[in-house]
């Protein structure tokens, strides 16, 4: 039995998030691709928060730096 990462235990529910990308007026295939990409980013962030004890702090620092350059 292989151990799944926290993010692998979650499944992408396209219907749940499709309304959020609807205003972009994308084709169904483009919506699916965007949702898959965003889901992959979310999975990576979630996994990193479990395996790297300082990752949340690193993410907060990066987010603060990004906001400073807007």
Q: Which pLDDT score is estimated for 62?
A: 76
**Is the model more confident about 9 or about 64?**
64
pLDDT bracket for residue 1 (50, 70, 90): very low
- Please, which contacts does 60-69 make with residues 24 or more away whose CB atoms are closer than 8 Å? none
**What tokens does 42 get?**
């979310």
Rounded Cα–Cα distance for residues 39 and 44 (Å): 9
Domain boundaries, the chain: 9-68
CB atoms inside a 10 Å sphere around CB 21? 16
> Radius of gyration over alpha carbons of the chain, in Å?
15
pLDDT tens-digit profile of 21-67? Answer: 999 999 999 999 999 999 998 888 778 777 776 767 777 887 788 77
Q: Which pLDDT score is estimated for 57?
A: 78
Residue with tokens 């996994």: 47
Q: Which pLDDT score is estimated for 65?
A: 80
**What tokens does 68 get?**
């400073």
């Amino acid at each position: 039995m292989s151990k799944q990462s926290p993010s692998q235990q979650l499944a992408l529910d396209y219907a749940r998030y499709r309304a959020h990308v609807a205003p972009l007026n994308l084709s169904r295939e483009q919506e699916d691709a965007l949702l898959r990409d965003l889901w992959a980013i979310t999975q990576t962030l979630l996994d990193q928060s479990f395996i790297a004890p300082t990752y949340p702090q690193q993410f907060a620092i990066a987010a603060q730096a990004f906001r400073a350059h807007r």
